Amino acid sequence: MPIHEPSFDVLIIGAGVSGLIAAREIQGSGRSVLLLDKGRGLGGRLASRRVGAATFDYGAQFITTRDARFEAILNQGAEAGMMTEWCQGFAPTSDGHTRWRGQPAMTAVAKYLAQGLEIRTEKQIVAIRRAGDRYSVETSTGDLHFASAVLLTPPVPQSLALLAAGEITLDPAMQRRLDGIQYERCLAVMAVLKGPSLIPPPGGLAPTSGPAAWIADNQRKGISMEPAVTIHATHEFSLAHWDEDRMESGRRLLDASLPWLGAEVLRYQVHGWRYSKPVQVDEHPCALLQASPPLVMAGDAFAGPRVEGAALSGMAAAETLLAHIHR
């Protein structure tokens, strides 16, 4: 039987970095917040997976920061033992900027950001509708959640589809602006090796040619007990092979990466990131779609295509929502 949930001040769709950071800011101001996410876990592209004794970071590989507010959050996470420094650049040079990684893996960063927040996973949203002076959010099981304001943090095309399903129309200029945001795709291969790879310390490299955009040694990185590599394909390769058998596409990518593997592949898995990173970034850190009741969109398509960009967009969205929500 469908459930009608009590109303919250703010409902956030998506428990990735933008949603988690925004929720921390909003809840810290004394507002009630609920996060809903379609996945079983948290963090979006802060994604890790175990295959036997091997551990993979297969989404975001590291975190950098130049913003003092976000740096303070990472430092607090490091003090709590949830993240640590990986390196300050990749061979053959170092640029002096810290690359953070999760401890023990990237999902730990999301778990740290989620502390103290009310989050419900495996909640597939199908529509957002106006309900008087608030919004109703419907799940695939017919449950209804109500809030005085809504923040959308999924990839822009998915967010727009939820609004269209609930017959929420946007200003034509805003609609065109958001329709123009496109994303790269990325096929990610997670391979367990029989022995150590040939990837030099500290365990990551970006090939200058070929179908691989990034290759990382998770054991050298410090997160895997067994030799295990993550390979991210280029957008061009991913798009060309997106609809093919995933294991066959993964084998193509492994064959192209043999110079860096150095050992037999024992087993592998392939994951497809349909919305890997935005092709272009919006000029604003978030988008106020409607002022009353407040409806805001945020994510890495607004403040930048990296983890820090998603975090800064979440901060901007929280500030915008708090400025417009009725007291």
Confidence at residue 3, expressed as pLDDT on a 0 to 100 scale:
55
Q: Tell me the C-alpha distance between 70 and 171, whole Å.
A: 32
189, pLDDT greater than 90: yes
Q: Does domain 8-42+114-181+281-324 have CATH number 3.50.50.60?
A: yes
Which pLDDT band, with edges at 50, 70 and 90, does 5 fall under? low
Q: Respond yes or no on whether the N-terminal peptide bond of residue 6 is cis (omega within 30° of 0).
A: no
Instruction: Tell me the CATH class for 48-112+183-278.
Output: alpha beta
Which pLDDT band, with edges at 50, 70 and 90, does 303 fall under? confident
Give the model confidence (pLDDT) of 107-130 as tens digits.
Answer: 999 999 999 999 999 999 999 999
Confidence at residue 2, expressed as pLDDT on a 0 to 100 scale:
57
Q: Tell me the C-alpha distance between 65 and 88, whole Å.
A: 12
57, pLDDT greater than 90: yes
Closest by CA position to 207, among listed 246, 247, 265, 260: 260
Give the model confidence (pLDDT) of 308-325 as tens digits.
Answer: 999 999 999 999 999 998
Q: Is residue 185 within 8 Å of 171, Cβ to Cβ?
A: no
* Domain residue spans of the chain: 8-42+114-181+281-324, 48-112+183-278
Confidence at residue 327, expressed as pLDDT on a 0 to 100 scale:
52
Q: Which letter does DSSP use for residue 155 in this model?
A: -
- Mean of the per-residue pLDDT values for the chain? 95
Confidence at residue 305, expressed as pLDDT on a 0 to 100 scale:
84
Q: Specify the pairing of strand 144-152 against strand 183-193.
A: unpaired
Q: Return the higher-pLDDT residue of 51 and 3.
A: 51
Give the model confidence (pLDDT) of 126-157 as tens digits.
Answer: 999 999 999 999 999 999 999 999 999 999 99
237, pLDDT greater than 80: yes
Confidence at residue 92, expressed as pLDDT on a 0 to 100 scale:
76
4, pLDDT greater than 80: no
264, pLDDT greater than 60: yes
Q: Look up residue 254 and give its amino acid.
A: L
Give percent of the chain with pLDDT exceeding 90.
94
Domains 8-42+114-181+281-324 and 48-112+183-278 alike in fold: no
User: Any idea which residue has 């970034």 for tokens?
Assistant: 281
Q: Tell me the C-alpha distance between 223 and 55, whole Å.
A: 6
Give the model confidence (pLDDT) of 198-229 as tens digits.
Answer: 999 999 999 999 999 999 999 999 999 999 99
Q: Look up residue 301 and give its amino acid.
A: A
User: Any idea which residue has 């009590």 for tokens?
Assistant: 6
For residue 162, the SS3 value is helix
Q: Give the burial class of 245: count Cβ atoms within 10 A of its Cβ; 0-12 exposed, 13-18 middle, 19 or more buried.
A: exposed
Give me the helices (H) in the chain, please: 17-28, 68-79, 107-113, 156-165, 172-179, 218-221, 235-241, 246-256, 258-261, 300-303, 307-324
Which pLDDT band, with edges at 50, 70 and 90, does 230 fall under? very high
91, pLDDT greater than 90: no
Confidence at residue 161, expressed as pLDDT on a 0 to 100 scale:
98
The residue-averaged pLDDT of 74-85 equals 96
Which pLDDT band, with edges at 50, 70 and 90, does 7 fall under? confident
Confidence at residue 52, expressed as pLDDT on a 0 to 100 scale:
93
Confidence at residue 89, expressed as pLDDT on a 0 to 100 scale:
93
240, pLDDT greater than 60: yes
Q: Look up residue 56 and give its amino acid.
A: F
The residue-averaged pLDDT of 155-165 equals 98
The residue-averaged pLDDT of 64-80 equals 96
Evaluated on CA atoms 135, 140, 143, 145, the torsion sign reads negative
DSSP H or E segment with residue 136: strand 134-139
DSSP H or E segment with residue 100: strand 99-102
Q: Return the higher-pLDDT residue of 245 and 304.
A: 245
Q: Specify the pairing of strand 33-36 against strand 119-120.
A: parallel
272, pLDDT greater than 70: yes
Q: Tell me the C-alpha distance between 118 and 27, whole Å.
A: 10
Scored b (16 or more CB within 10 A) or e, 69-103 reads ebeebbeebbeeebbeebbeebeeeeeeebbbbbb
Confidence at residue 311, expressed as pLDDT on a 0 to 100 scale:
97
| Cβ neighbours of residue 105 closer than 8 Å, sequence gap 6 or more | 48, 55, 56, 57, 223
For residue 49, the SS3 value is strand
Q: Tell me the C-alpha distance between 237 and 213, whole Å.
A: 10
